[in-house]
Chain A
Amino acid sequence: MSNTGLIMKSLREKFGYVQESVADFVGISRELVSMYETGEREIPIAVIEKLSDLFCIDPEAFFAETTEEAVAQIAFAFRTDEINPQDLKEIACFGRIVKNYLKIKKLDGQI
C-alpha cells in the first residue's frame, strides 16, 4: 500500500500546519485532506505538486518507501508567532525556489 497519505500527514504535522490551513492553501475541503491522509482517496499529482511547494520538498518525496525517509529530507525552523493563509502562499513560493535551486544545481552537475 502506498505511503503517500501518511507522508502528507507527517509533513503537515512536522510543519505544524492544521488540516484546514492546508485545505485552504490547496483549494479543497478539510474532509478531502483527511481522506488523502488516511489513504481513503488517492492524491492527484496536481495536489502533490502544490504540497511539494508548501513543504519545500521534491514531489518524489511523497513516494518514498517510508514516512521517516520523506520527512528526514528537510530540516527547518520558523521564526514566527503564527502562520496565516497569506504566509502559506509565500512559503510555497519560497518552497518552489528551493525546489528549483536543487534542480538547477543538479542540472549543472553540482549535486
Chain B
Amino acid sequence: MVKFNDTILEVRATKFRDRLGVSNADPIDLYKVLMELDVVTNFRLMSREFSGMALKTGENRFILINSDQTRARQHFTIGHELYHLFVQPNFDFTLCKAGRFDKKDREEYNADVFSSFLLMPEAGVLSSIPEEELAHGGCISLPTIVRLEQHFGVSRRALLIRLDKLGLIDFQQYAVNYLTNIKRSANELGYSTRLYEKGSDFKIISNYGTICKKLFEKEKISESHYFNLMHDIGINIDEKFEENADDC
C-alpha cells in the first residue's frame, strides 16, 4: 500500500493538474474543472459548521458546497472534495472536521494538503513573488499576499499556511498582523472583496438541466416532470427575463 505523505500528495496534485491540462504555475478554474470532470456540484445554504460533502455512487460523482461560506473557503472545500472523489484510495466514507489540517484523521489531512497544493502550486506561488522579497533578508509584503490570494482564489489563512509550508514566512507571526482587516487590505489595494464574501454565482454546476431539457424535447418526460426536476435544483423554468437587445 502506498504510504501518503506531503510529497506524494504534491505529486498527485501536479498529476491532477496535468490531467486537466492546467500548467503548474497557473491558477486553477475549479468551476470549469467540475464541469469537465462531470462532478454534479450543488451550492446550498448550510449551517456555519458545514463546509461540504463529496458523494460517489458507481462512477457518478457529486459535491455539496455550503454557499454561506466565503468564496475563498468554498474553493478550498472543492479542492478537498476532489481529493476524496478522484485521489483517495478506497474511498468509502469519512466524517471530518473542517479546515484543521488534522493529522489524526489521515485522509482528512491528506484532502486538506492536496487542496492546498492543487490551488497553490509551488511554481505558481514562487513566480508571483517579487525576487527582492524572496531574497535573503527579504519578507513577503502585504501587497504580495493580497495579490497571491486574489490570483489563486484562496483565503488569507490558506495562503499563509501554504507560504509557511514553503518556508517563506512564519505563520504565527504573519497571522498576528494579517489575519484581521482582510477585506479592507484588499480594498485599499484596489482589489474586489468578492473573494472574501459569502455566496455563489451557481445553484448547480452540471449538465443536469441540459439532460432534462433533452428528455423533455424527446418526450421521454412530461412537462410537469421537467418542471419538477428543474425545481429541485432551484430553477423555475417559467421565470420571466428582461432580455437586453444590446447584449445579443
A binds B: yes
Cβ A77 vs Cβ B54 within 8 A: yes
The smallest beta-carbon distance between A12 and chain B, in angstroms, is 13
Q: How many B residues touch the partner, as a band?
A: 35 or more
> Is B44 within 8 A of A79, CB to CB?
no
Instruction: Give Cα A80–Cα B52 distance, bound, in whole angstroms.
Output: 7
List chain A residues, Cβ under 8 A from B51. Answer: 79-80
Name the contact of A81 in the complex, choosing from B53, B91, B98 (C-beta under 8 A): B98
> Secondary structure at chain B's binding surface: helix, strand, loop or mixed?
mixed
A87 touching B47 in the complex, CB below 8 Å, given contacts A77-B84, A77-B94, A94-B42:
yes
Flag the segment in B13-21, B55-63, B129-137, B144-152 that touches A.
B55-63
Asked if B214 is at the interface (CB within 8 A of a chain A CB), the reply is yes
What bracket does the count of chain A residues touching chain B fall in? 35 or more
Closest A-chain residue to B48, C-beta based?
A81
With contacts defined as CB atoms under 8 Å apart, how many contacts are there between chain A and chain B in the complex?
130
- Tell me if B95 and A78 are in contact (CB < 8 A): yes
* B208: chain A residues within 8 A (beta carbon): 97, 100-101, 104
**B64 is an interface residue with CB less than 8 A from chain A:** yes
User: What is the interface of chain B, defined by CB distance below 8 A to chain A?
Assistant: 40, 42, 44-47, 49-58, 60, 62, 64, 77, 80-81, 84, 91-98, 107-108, 111, 204, 206, 208, 211-212, 214-215, 220-221, 229, 232-233
Determine if B98 and A93 form an interchain contact, defined as CB atoms under 8 angstroms apart: no
Give A102 to B40 CA distance when docked, in angstroms.
Answer: 11
Q: In the bound complex, how far is the Cα of B2 from the Cα of A2, in angstroms?
A: 41
